[in-house]
Amino acid sequence: MDWRGWAEIVFTIALTVAVGWPLGIFMARVWAGERTWLDPVLKPVEAVAYAAFGVDRNRQQGWFGYAGALIAFSAAGFALLYGMLRLQGILPLNPQGFDGLSPHLAFNTAVSFVTNTNWQSYGGETTMSNLSQMAGLTVQNFVSAGAGLAVAAALSRAFAADRGEGLGNFWVDLTRTTLYVLLPLSILTALALVAAGVPQTLLANVEASTVEGAKQVISLFPTASQEAIKQWGTNGGGIFNVNSAHPLENPTPLTNLIEVVSLNALAFGTVIAFGRVAGARREARALIAVMAILVGVAASAIYASETLTPQPAMVAAGIPDASANMEGKEVRFGAATSAMWAAQTTGASNGSVNSMHGSYMPLGGGVAMFLMQLGEILPGGVGSGLYGMVVMALLAVFVAGLMVGRTPEYLGKKVEAREIKLAMLAVLILPLSILGFSAIAAVLPVALEGLLNKGPRGLTEILYAYSSATGNNGSAYAGLTANAPWWNTTLGIAMLLGRFAYAIPVLAIAGAIAVKPKLQPTAGTLPSDSPLFVGLLIGIILILGGLQFFPALALGPIVEHFQVLAAAR
Amino acid sequence: MLSHLRPAIVSMVFFTLLLGLAYPLGVTGIAGAAFPSQAGGSLIRNAQGEIVGSQLIGQNFKGDAYLRPRPSAAGKDGYDAAGSSGSNLGPMNEDLAARIKADAEALREADGKGSLPADAVTASASGLDPHISPENAARQVARIAKTRGIAPDQVAAIIAANTQGPTFGFLGRSRVNVLTANLALDARYPKPQAKAP
């Protein structure tokens, strides 16, 4: 550990929030349908889109209609992507001549990108054609993020409404968010990344004769354009197998900074937009504080783990600096830049990596996994992080209300039995899917075949995979070979549960909240913008996560930590 | 539900055309015009115009006259730039312990018993790491100088010229680009004859 590492962690989180802030203000304007400086270019495109979709942009949808549109859109996206992947072999723009994907891999991949997870059971440069990368995966990177942001817009309006009815129009929110926010950001970021060294070419491979006379085939791809939206949309699906650890996806500390800021800025921005739309700016700042504090603590914990835990294999080989765990890390990044990214990507539901979590020390990797198990709210995926955090805030005011014996309120809305039931329904999906699937996989020979590491780390590979899939994260302890029918199918189901069994109760909450009258705060209202509330919310998040997952963590990363300490002695 | 059918299907077609074709192809066009070298993969060509590699991608140097890269888990022989991969071995894995032990012995054999930096015996995340740490490079100076018949200072100067510090002084780590350093060595101090093992 050194001062540079700590400076990098603090600087990056501060910069991310600072970039997200104006983006959130802008996004609130986009959601409200207000004029923006992009109107001259995008207004006509938008008009063409609504005419083609057959959508009346002024028609409000209730929560049920909004959810129906979300499901229909996701289903259409799934069908198109599944077909494109299966037929890859006979479609154009396939310079390497890759075959179509197997049914279970195509199912897993299509679900993965439609649910904004971007779990990858395949290695990109050995599986995907240019067409699949661009017209398949890149498109879902945009629109799955747009759909998540649309749900956040609907929830924001619910809190603003006073005995309101509609939540907005899904098609309009999706289209406007994608066109006005995600597309311009991606174009700018892609060009900045190319300038800094990321390739962008339709040439798939070039062949080099190395200095020592060997042949080296270098995969290139249109990388920058996907890299940009992969980060802004908290998608995380890389062009290459090793994602942003690949020196072509992320060649320098500068590209790393661009990528890690774009990874989380918009998720923070969503909270700002929520505060503006719902008329709760101070409360939104409290949510930002919770997110930034927890992700900062997590990054520090991972950094400490990766620089203080002795690596038994290096101790045995007599390496003096045996606590510098560089296995699975790049020299240009080192421990701090890697730990920083690991916390940011698992705190968000991004899942891109710039180092291999599967080679992390037990506690470092364990913290990353725990961040996913907390429900991807720190700051979470674009859209999904905000609505997950609001669910936690509802639970926090509910618990506080129980303690003082008053009907809880949040942002001027009474929180009653229906909302809390729906919130618990959403929250319980995580342990049900993560622990349920892990329990089965841990005793199923066909599942265990996929593991690379044995013992506690093997269990962690399983837990990590289902945490990642259910949290719609997408990162992996990549020792697990997931491209097999069991893993592809069950991880696909976990991703669907994590996305829709969470988003639909949230929309139902939004529907219930919207029709309530907007109350003025009284002396008995728990202020939800105070340091007290920040502390309460952090407590609820950690206790909820801790109680659910601590037994499983004890059997995985925690016991392995003590094994490592014993072996390194 | 049926009322959602048309917007769902038509919007997917619309977004595929706009975001799946116009966006990446547009970016490709602009990037290729504005930043042709980077967009093309930062390739390095020799005097004959043949591609010898990318300055962003490591190569598996084995000869005594060259800086050697980190261990690599990409492909069967390492540094397979069409199949990036880390080892994904956990700290308690026996294969990791065996590999580190063997690599450490080989490195001590080649470059003496001085202290080994961690990056010299650990596989990178990508298997294509173009860099090694300055400490790792410094360990190799004596061997390269002896093989090429030049002074250690001359090798160290080339390494220093191919070393980058942290960005803005605190982002990332100091690093030596193995490929560009080796190319500079060959250009400045040609070997008697190339002898790749």
pLDDT digits (tens, 9 = 90+) for A116-173: 999 999 998 899 999 999 999 999 999 999 999 999 999 999 999 999 878 999 999 9
- Residue A525 is predicted with a pLDDT of 86
- Residue B12 is predicted with a pLDDT of 97
Lowest mean pLDDT among A64-78, A518-532, B113-127: A518-532
Which of A76, A217, A240 is nearest residue B12 as measured by Cβ atoms? A76
pLDDT tier, A404 (very low <50, low <70, confident <90, very high otherwise): confident
Radius of gyration of chain B (CA): 22
pLDDT digits (tens, 9 = 90+) for B100-109: 999 999 999 9
- Inter-chain residue contact A72 with B196, CB threshold 8 Å: no
Helix axes B141-148, B94-111, angle to 10 degrees: 50
Pairing of β B131-132 and β B51-54 = unpaired
Measured in whole angstroms, the distance separating CA A89 from the mean position of its chain's CA atoms is 30
Mean pLDDT of A503-525: 93
Residue A338 pLDDT > 70: yes
Q: For chain A, what percent of residues have pLDDT higher than 90?
A: 91
pLDDT digits (tens, 9 = 90+) for A274-307: 999 999 999 999 999 999 999 999 999 999 999 9
DSSP state of A554: I
Question: What are the DSSP E strand ranges found in A344-459?
Answer: 409-410, 413-414
Give yes or no for A559 touching B (CB within 8 A). no
pLDDT tier, B192 (very low <50, low <70, confident <90, very high otherwise): low
CA atoms within 13 A on the CB side of A205: 20
Chain B neighbours among A 212-271 (CB < 8 Å)? 212-214, 216-220, 222, 224-226, 229, 240-242, 245-248, 251-254, 256-257
- Inter-chain residue contact A453 with B130, CB threshold 8 Å: no
Which of B53, B79, B87 is nearest residue A328 as measured by Cβ atoms? B87
- Residue B197 is predicted with a pLDDT of 47
pLDDT tier, A522 (very low <50, low <70, confident <90, very high otherwise): confident
Contacts 24+ apart (CB under 8 A), B72-80: B72/B123, B72/B124, B72/B127, B72/B128, B72/B129, B73/B123, B73/B127, B74/B126, B74/B127, B74/B128, B75/B127, B78/B127, B79/A216, B79/B127, B79/B128, B80/A216, B80/A217, B80/B127
Sign of the C-alpha dihedral computed for residues A473, A476, A482 and A483 taken in this order? positive
pLDDT tier, A523 (very low <50, low <70, confident <90, very high otherwise): confident
Mean pLDDT (chain B) is 94
- Inter-chain residue contact B63 with A209, CB threshold 8 Å: no
pLDDT digits (tens, 9 = 90+) for A417-466: 999 999 999 999 999 999 999 999 999 999 999 999 989 999 999 999 99
- Integer Cα distance of A148 and A23 in angstroms: 16
Residue B163 pLDDT > 50: yes
DSSP string, B31-70: HHHH-HHHHTT-EEE-TTS-EEEETTS-----STTS----
Give yes or no for A69 touching B (CB within 8 A). yes
- Integer Cα distance of B127 and B140 in angstroms: 21
Residue B195 pLDDT > 60: no
pLDDT tier, B193 (very low <50, low <70, confident <90, very high otherwise): low
Give yes or no for A413 touching B (CB within 8 A). no
Mean pLDDT of A6-30: 96
C-alpha closest to that of A515 among A151, A279, A161: A161
- The whole-model pTM stands at 0.95
pLDDT tier, B190 (very low <50, low <70, confident <90, very high otherwise): confident
- Residue B1 is predicted with a pLDDT of 64
Q: Which residues of A touch B159 (CB under 8 A)?
A: none
CA dihedral angle for residue A354, residue A358, residue A360, residue A365, rounded to 10 degrees: 90
Mean pLDDT of B17-40: 96
Give yes or no for A125 touching B (CB within 8 A). yes
pLDDT digits (tens, 9 = 90+) for A359-378: 999 999 999 999 999 999 99
DSSP string, A294-352: HHHHHHHHHHHHHHHS--HHHHHTT-TTTT---TT--TTTHHHHHHHHHHHHHHTT---
- Integer Cα distance of A327 and B85 in angstroms: 12
pLDDT digits (tens, 9 = 90+) for A65-121: 999 999 999 999 999 999 999 999 999 999 889 999 999 999 999 999 999 999 999
Identify residue A274 by its one-letter amino acid code.
F
Residue A431, judged by CB atoms within 10 A of its CB (0-12, 13-18, 19+), counts as middle
Residue B194 pLDDT > 70: no
Q: Which residues of A touch B11 (CB under 8 A)?
A: 49, 53, 73, 76, 171, 174-175
- Inter-chain residue contact B19 with A214, CB threshold 8 Å: no
Residue A204 pLDDT > 80: no
